[in-house]
Structure 1
Amino acid sequence: MLFQNGKLKVRKLKETDKYLLAKWLSDPSVLEFYEGRDNPFDVDKVNKVFYASEEDEIKCIVEFEGNEIGYIQFYQLDDKIKKEYGYLDENIYGTDQFIGEIEYWNKGIGTFLVTSMVKYLVEHKQADRVVMDPQTRNTRALKCYEKCGFKRIKILPKHEFHEGEYQDCWLIEYTPHHA
């Protein structure tokens, strides 16, 4: 387990989680903002994207009250991305997440997950900032992230190819208040 905060647990991805990811990433409600409804996943695609990838993300499953409900990944931004976003030599982490079990939506669990992950990154990875790049049209996610202390920094025009067209995204950041 990576960390626990009350009823919320975040643990690293296991081989058997591929079936959960395939279930969640074939649900049009989940895909509307994560990967795209025109891009459903089966187990083979999950294996290629989540298990065969050489990328440096730490991929995790989210559990709430003992139930596996979602996915979160975090990663340290490389110099190329930091430059693209306008950052200097800081320790910056990014996250991506979704709640795959839609009956857990709109219950404050996403806010609890994001605040818990930010706390983990600041305390255990010494993150100077935590950033995300949600699509500008994803108002529900943006409200969640703003409740967690993220601020909108700038629009990233045509940043993400989603459902056949490039979408504008917000660069949002959380900056911890150092004493």
Structure 2
Amino acid sequence: MLFQNDKLSVRLLEQKDECLLVKWLSDPAVLEFYEGRDNAFDLHKVHEKFYNREIGVVRCIVEFDKIPIGYIQYYQVDIDERKLYGYGNVLDVIYGMDQFIGEVAYWNNGIGTLLVNSMVEFLVEQNQADRVVMDPQTWNERAIRCYEKCGFKKVKLLPKNELHEGEYRDCWLIEYIK
């Protein structure tokens, strides 16, 4: 386990979690906000995206009261992303993170806020992060409100940054500074 905060815990992704990811990423309610409803996942696609990928991304399962409810990943921002985001000359240790709660029954209960706050605290304390960044799509107001509650600020508009449901969508670069 990476960390625990009250009933919330985050552990490394394991092979046994593949069916959870398929379940969550084939649910249209989840896909509306993560990956897109036109982009449902099967076992093969889960393996390609979550298991047979680049080194440097730490992939994790989120549990609440010992029940797997979501996914979170974090990574140190590489030089290409630093340039894209405007951090080319910034010497800070910068981490990025992405997450979703896959069990819809757990939405709107404050768990997302607890998760984001806990992961930021983990990255600052354990990985010496000076900044943590994310790039939510601009229309995802519920997620952005959650992130702002956690101390993230909008930094830069990233036009047509992410393909979602057949079109490139604008995203906000948001950051948390230690």
After TM superposition, the score normalised by the length of structure 1 is: 0.97
Aligned to 1:131: 133
- Secondary structure of residue in 2 paired with 1:157: strand
Gap regions ≥5 residues in structure 2: none
Count of residue pairs brought into register by the alignment? 176
Q: Note the C-alpha offset of 1:55.
A: 4.0
- Secondary structure of residue in 2 paired with 1:19: helix
Structure 2 CA distance, aligned partners of 1:55 and 1:142? 28
Q: Note the C-alpha offset of 1:89.
A: 2.1
Structure 2 CA distance, aligned partners of 1:81 and 1:48? 22
Q: Deviations over 1:33-91 (max 9, x none)?
A: 21110000011110111001124210000000111000000000011111111112221
- Partner amino acid, structure 1, of 2:56: D
Q: Is residue 2:25 matched to residue 1:25?
A: yes
Q: Equivalent pairs: percent with the same residue?
A: 66
Aligned to 2:62: 62
Structure 1 CA distance, aligned partners of 2:49 and 2:147? 25
- Secondary structure of residue in 1 paired with 2:10: strand
Gap regions ≥5 residues in structure 1: none
Structure 2 CA distance, aligned partners of 1:127 and 1:46? 29
- Secondary structure of residue in 2 paired with 1:149: coil
- Secondary structure of residue in 1 paired with 2:41: coil
Aligned to 1:142: 144
- Secondary structure of residue in 2 paired with 1:30: helix
Q: CA RMSD in A?
A: 0.7
After TM superposition, the score normalised by the length of structure 2 is: 0.97
- Partner amino acid, structure 2, of 1:125: N
Structure 2 CA distance, aligned partners of 1:90 and 1:149? 18
- Secondary structure of residue in 2 paired with 1:39: coil
